[in-house]
Amino acid sequence: MLKMNKNEQIPEFIGEDSIVPHFQPIIQTSTRNIIGYEVLGRQFVPPNEYKSLGPKFHNPKENIVENINIDRIIREKAVKQLKESGSNTQLFFNMMPNQLSVIHTEDFMNPERFHIIQLAEKYGINKKNIVIEITEEEFQGEIEKLIRLVNVFRNYGFKIAIDDMGVGSSSLERIGYIHPDIIKVDIKIMRESLNKASFRQVLNAISKMSIKLGSDLLFEGVETEEELILALSMGANLLQGFYFSKATKEFQVTSHFSKNLKTILEKFSGLRFLEIAQDFQRQQEIVDKLSNILKDIEKKEGDELFRYVSEVLRTFPTDISHIFFCDLHGYQITPTYERKENSEWKEIISDIGNNFAWKPYFAQHKAEVYHFNKKWGVTEPLYDLQTRKQYVIFTFSITESVILIAKVILDT
């Protein structure tokens, strides 16, 4: 007879027959095929229900030894199923650092003592088909021990993933130390980013980091087409979530989601093309306006330059909120002109002499002028915490020795 834990509503365990691994598919964006599955624990509750074991595993009050044994049962059943299926697919296994630390206490870690390695040997599994997900939790031991644990898996030939990126505070530290093959971004951040530009910037930063590290970027928890489009816009190599499928007892046909994802990718491609084309058009309009407004500035210097800029301020595009001029060394040679809410301009003379040569956009602009004879440049969208608006920095070579720098608001 099954007993129920009142707090978690998870049946207490009678035997391993009730423990059944389930598999949630992970889809590769480029091929549109299933390339692997995250292995999730379920318990069969008669007559026909399967309850998640997640709450039990993440409950600190549960017996850790019992949880380790349950985890091993799930793991072996999953590996055995992979072997018997003859499928060349990857299995993603969650590994909690604190549990690993309890089992492997020695300084020198023998790979033969690791359960997942024992299973790979026992069932003759291709090492490349096992992915170890290091789950986000507060690791109680020293980071050096976590690195040693991870290196045992990596040196054996398993891939390493950092799970739940962005949920906890130690993700960046772990990424720096572990340098994972895969970075998993939890949908919790993603859902926020649909409405908050700051979260979108965080996702964009994670995306760039994964590219620079050479890590695949996996967005998990994708439930809607809107979230799928956002994941694609952030460069997701891999996709996972209820939008595609819940976890199931059996492996699925590799191309099961290919047709639907093909349609979404073509839709996404069209949308991105229009967005980029509109951005280019807007940038060109700003260039044309500035070129026309400042066509007589070339021979003006010092006070004459200040007077000239003051006279033409009212004709600048309305989405420019700040503007100033620098010399080739990055020193500001005019005041900063700041547009106020009433469209009047405030002159900040104390900014003269500030240096911007250290700004990435300044060096980028000079290099492009030199190598490509390009007169203007624009940054990717940035976020202003004070105004809560997105903006770009626009650079424009007015003369061979004068560079205009403007802050252009996007959320107008």
We report the CATH number of the domain holding residue 342 as 3.30.450.20
- Looking at the structure, do residues 45 and 128 belong to the same domain, yes or no? yes
58 within domain boundaries: yes
Task: Indicate if 104 and 51 belong to the same structural domain.
Answer: yes
389-397 vs 382-384, strand pairing mode? antiparallel
Pairing of strands 216-219, 182-185: parallel
Any domain includes 87:
yes
Same domain (yes/no): 247, 304: no
**With left for phi above 0 and alpha for psi between -120 and 50, is residue 246 left, alpha or beta?**
beta
Residue 72 lies in a domain: yes
263 found inside a domain: no
Same domain? For 147 and 26 the reply is: yes
Looking at the structure, tell me whether residues 125 and 75 fall in a common domain: yes
Q: Are residues 241 and 349 in the same domain?
A: no
Q: For residue 47, is the peptide bond before it cis, meaning its omega torsion is within 30 degrees of 0? A: yes
Does an H or E element contain 278, and which? Answer: helix 258-293
Residue 72 has phi, psi (to 5 degrees) of -65, -35
Q: How far from 187 is each of 166, 192, 230, 382, CA to CA, in Å? A: 9, 9, 11, 22
Contacts of 376 (CB under 8 A, 6+ apart): 283, 287, 394, 395, 396, 397
62 and 110 fall within a common domain: yes
Which range marks the domain in which residue 319 is found? Answer: 273-409
What per-residue confidence (pLDDT) applies to 17?
85
CA dist 392 and 383 (Å) reads 9
What residues have CB less than 8 Å from 61, skipping those under 6 apart? none
Chosen domain end from 256, 290, 308: 256
Tell me how long the chain is: 412
Nearest to 162 by CA among 144, 146, 141: 146
Helix (H, G, I), strand (E, B) or coil at 129: helix
Q: How far apart are CA 54 and CA 36, in angstroms?
A: 20
DSSP states along 36-83: EEEEEEEEEETTTEEEE-HHHHT-TTS-HHHHHHHHHHHHHHHHHHHH
Q: What are the tokens at 227?
A: 């979230």
Same domain, 95 and 210: yes
3-class secondary structure, 371: helix
pLDDT at 171: 65
pLDDT at 170: 56
Alpha-carbon span 197 to 390, nearest angstrom:
7
**Secondary element (H or E) of residue 226:** helix 225-233
Residue whose token pair is 């547009």:
339
Cβ pair 197, 176 in contact under 8 A: no
Buried/exposed 222-247: b ≥16 CB within 10 Å, e otherwise: beeeebbbbbbbbbbbbbbbebbbeb
Q: For the chain, 412 residues long, give each residue's pLDDT as a single digit of tens.
A: 333 344 444 445 547 888 999 999 999 999 999 999 999 999 988 888 888 888 888 777 887 788 889 999 999 999 999 999 999 999 999 988 877 877 777 766 888 999 999 999 999 999 999 999 988 665 666 788 888 889 999 999 999 999 866 555 456 777 888 899 999 998 776 666 556 667 777 888 889 999 999 999 999 999 999 999 999 999 999 999 999 999 999 999 999 999 999 999 999 999 999 999 999 999 999 989 988 888 878 777 777 888 888 889 989 999 999 999 999 999 999 999 999 988 899 999 999 999 999 999 999 999 999 999 999 999 998 888 888 888 999 999 988 889 999 999 987 5
Total tally of structural domains belonging to the chain: 2
Structure tokens at 31: 């091929």
Tell me which of 207, 226, 256 is where a domain ends.
256
pLDDT of residue 135: 80
CB 184 within 8 A of CB 174: no
User: Is 194 in the same domain as 332?
Assistant: no
CATH number of the structural domain spanning residue 31 = 3.20.20.450
Domain boundary (225, 256, 287) is at: 256
262 belongs to a structural domain: no
Q: Kindly state the DSSP code that residue 18 receives in the 8-state scheme.
A: G
> Domain for residue 139, yes or no?
yes
Classify residue 311: in a domain, yes or no: yes
Query: Within this chain, do residues 152 and 69 fall inside the same structural domain, yes or no?
Result: yes
Is residue 283 domain-resident? Answer: yes
210 and 278 share one domain = no
> Based on the domain organization, do 62 and 152 belong to the same domain?
yes
* Ramachandran bin of 164, using left for φ above 0, alpha for ψ from -120 to 50, beta for the remaining angles: left
- What's the pTM? 0.86
